[in-house]
Amino acid sequence: MIVKMKKLTLLCTRSSQEKTLAALRDLGVVHLQHVQLPEGADLDEARNFSAHLKRALEVLPKSTDVKPSGKTAHETVQAVWDLIHREQALTEQIETLDLEARRYEPFGSFSPEAVRELAAKGIRVKLYKAPAKVRLEVPDGVSMVELSRTRNTVYFALIGRDGVSVDAEEIALPTQSLADMRQQLETLRVESEQTRAAFHRFSGDRFAVAALASEADDRIHYLEARAGMGFSEEIVYLRGFFPGEQESAVRQEAASNGWAAMVYDIDPEDNPPTLLRNPRWVSPIQAVFKIIGVTPGYHEVDISTFFLLFLSLFFAMLVGDAGYGLLFLSLTLIGKRRFRKLPQQGFNLLLITSTCTIIWGALTGVWFGMASLPAVLSQFKIGWLTGAQANENTMLLCFFIGAVHLTIAHVWNTLRIFNTWQALAQLGWIGSTWTMFFTARTMVLYYPFPPIMLWIMAVSVVLIVLFMNPVHKIKSEWFNYAVLPLSIVSNFTDVVSYLRLFAVGTAGFAVASAFNGMAAEAGAGGLVGGLGAALILFFGHALNILLCTMGVMVHGIRLNTLEFSGHIGMQWSGQNYRPFKKLSNEEL
């Protein structure tokens, strides 16, 4: 659920500003809303220093078997930055010299010094390149020596007395020979590798640098809070939001510190942050919200429970293979054991989705795309999903899931506005959704269309037209009536959109089966063929798993964040609740 918030305005004297911010940070429950844009020289300096530290953290390897160097965090950062500058300088030198070597490579390796000695004796040697199809006129007394040729360009040298020239692009002599360039390049590359290896010497100091970076971020937040306060003569003030359950703690802190604290209820025009608090079994879905970067608005609804339930179903149908589900489950259990310090929400989500995938794959008889199954696995199959009409039945199931999913959205809307006439419009959308279900069933699967659905659709349209907007908003919301036909058509496409669950799942099975067939043919060639078959199976199924995972990200999440969210009226316009408090020294 979305935790109810309260709005706070807090006033204090200028002389107690620092003390107030320190106490408020220790309280750690108020999400600040800056009165003015935080800016200032000290804030810019703090931000630059934080970026300086984070860059050092980026290049420090995460190693647990290297002991700390004994340097302070500041000394380590300075040493790391010296290495960064050294590596950048070497990289620039390597790129410049490599470009130079490539430029002179068509002319071969020669000594520029020898050419200069010849020039001192009156014999000129010049380098040129010209289009291969151009016929060049070489002056008398001048020798032209072709050095190399490509399909489009010829590289050559002219040798003669003073005044040697030809109508082509002249290439200046290099400062060193090609052999010397290559030798210098090798030396620079060795130095660059040594520099990169030197970063590992400080990997044992990463925790100390991370702690320093956390302190730098903490200072930024503090300076932003101070610079974002409003002021009027000797009074400074701030605004923010906090969970309503913390009201007594806020008021007690205000009384203890002599603050003037005014607490208000949230108004519809306010934009508080969103704090989600769900049951433990629902919390894994937070990992998805973090990955895709979405948060429900405070005035919207929390669909976490239905998001988790339907995403688990979509994951199972899109991957569709019990063998893959077992693999995911095994890797997840290993990951939970080996990486206990990492956030567990992602692992817990994979436990749920992997289990659902195993169940769905077992019911549909799909195990690593095998054409025939052992008896022990075949007994779990359901005839309705595996028989002669399996494809048609699965498509029908997809339409049904879509209609149920969208119906939940409109039922939820109905319950939210149950005491208004607009609830009748939501009932109309429910009727429209199921009419579209039967329409899709008829158009795609050729089932007879129930005549009663025409009457239901007519009643639904009437309800939508009459009650979609309050009476006092009919004029201002006239555009909704103009696009209503498009909205009804969109309702049909939304139901049909769930067919992607069948299409992607079927494609995954086809790919797995194809690789299994290729491996079976290759495996008939003895030991070498067996090795080839193993490689085909490994890389083929790895590719298919990658494609299935992408399918979940693209289609499974889309059906929740677009189709379902669109029908429930969500815009994902929220901002996460980030209270003003001292940061923990976690690795960045």
Where residue 282 falls among pLDDT bands split at 50, 70, 90?
very high
- 82 falls within a domain: no
Are 219 and 132 contained in the same domain? no
Same-domain pairing of 397 and 248: no
224 token code pair: 């932003």
What's the CA angle centered on 403, arms 400 and 406, to 5 degrees? 145
| pLDDT tens per residue, range 89-118 | 999 999 999 999 999 999 998 899 998 888
* 126 shares a domain with 22: no
pLDDT of res. 281: 93
Helices (H), 446-499: 452-467, 478-482, 484-497
Tens digits of residue pLDDT in 171-228: 999 989 999 999 999 999 999 999 988 888 888 888 899 999 999 999 999 999 999 9
Same domain for 324 and 398, yes or no, is: yes
CA 24 to mean position of chain CA atoms: 34
**In this prediction, what percent of the chain has a pLDDT beyond 90?**
70
Q: Same domain for 454 and 557?
A: yes
CA distances from 84 to 194, 315, 343, 552, 575 (A): 12, 43, 31, 39, 36
Answer yes or no: do 359 and 215 share one domain: no
Task: Give the three-class secondary structure for 392.
Answer: helix
Q: Does residue 197 lie in a domain region?
A: no
Kindly tell me if the per-residue pLDDT of 472 is higher than 60. no
Residue 162: which of 117, 126, 128 has the closest Cα? 126
Q: Which amino acid is at 261?
A: A
Domain count, the chain: 3
- The reply to whether 410 falls in a domain is yes
Say yes or no: 216 and 162 in one domain: no
| From 80-89, 117-126, 425-434, the region with the lowest mean pLDDT | 117-126
Asked if residue 286 is part of any domain, the answer here is no
Q: Which amino acid is at 107?
A: F
CB within 8 A of 11, min separation 6: which ones? 235, 236, 237, 259, 260, 261
Residue 231's CATH number: 3.30.70.2170
Residues 405 and 447 in one domain: yes
**How many helices (H) does the chain have, and how many strands (E)?**
22, 9
In a domain, 550, yes or no: yes
Query: Is 361 found in the same domain as 220?
Result: no
**pLDDT tens-digit readout, 159-173:** 988 777 888 899 999
Range of the domain at 248: 5-64+206-265
- 450 and 372, same structural domain? yes
What pLDDT was estimated at residue 92?
95
> What is the rounded distance in angstroms from the CA atom of residue 391 to the CA atom of residue 364?
11
Residues 257, 214, single domain; the answer is: yes
* Tokens describing residue 121: 């004796």
> Does residue 555 or residue 373 have the better pLDDT?
555
